[in-house]
Copies of this chain bind each other. A is one copy, B any other.
Amino acid sequence: MIEEKGILFVLSGPSGVGKGTVRKALFDKDTALKYSISMTTRAKREGETEGIDYFYKSKEEFERMIEEKKLLEYAQYVGNYYGTPKEYVEETLESGKDVFLEIEVQGALQVKENFPQGVFIFLFPPSLEELANRIINRGTETEDIVNNRLTEAKKEIEMMDAYDYVVVNDQIDTAVSKIQSIVRSEHCKRERVAKQYKKVLEAELG
């Protein structure tokens, strides 16, 4: 009945909070969302696949895209670039599908500047202790990097105020279900749908 554009949802939060895990669990349940795959210059980790986890680019390739303004956001994080190709997001929204970004806090804030009509969800750690454990258990980082990430994470939590929603990641299933509720309720927001509903009525009245 109602023709509607897609909504851009941005899931972000401190390093180690479990953004990737929650995003994967969400996409297992919800096949209507389109995941926007980020570009990065960081090395591929074991188990990751090009075009599924990230698009892996050289520093030179990435910087050319920055110059050509082909990124919705980009950020340097622990010495690497991460970014979101703009064109894919805009085309998908235009076609009526929702786009879901899962990115670092720096990138999310940039998307908010460039695309304020997006919906910004902050994934919150159950506790700082738990956050440290998760970073350590990832097992890919040295102690120095773990400490840096934890300091960084505390700063990132301060940036929560820029977000629309806060979801605590104590249970993955609960976090996923809350995000699904956010997606659903955003599609009922009056400022998104009122115009179309009024058009439907006017058409009916002749």
Contacts and interface: CB of A to CB of B under 8 A. Distances in A.
Contact of A201 (B157, B180, B205): B157
A165 interface: yes
Contact of A190 (B128, B154, B166, B168): B166
A161 B194 contact: yes
Given A194-B160, A201-B128, A165 B189 contact: yes
Given A127-B204, A166-B197, A184 B190 contact: no
Q: Is the interface of A mostly helix, strand, loop or mixed?
A: helix
A181 interface: yes
Interface in A125-146: 126-129
A194 B120 CA distance: 14
A26 interface: no
A29 to B, nearest CB: 14
A59 interface: no
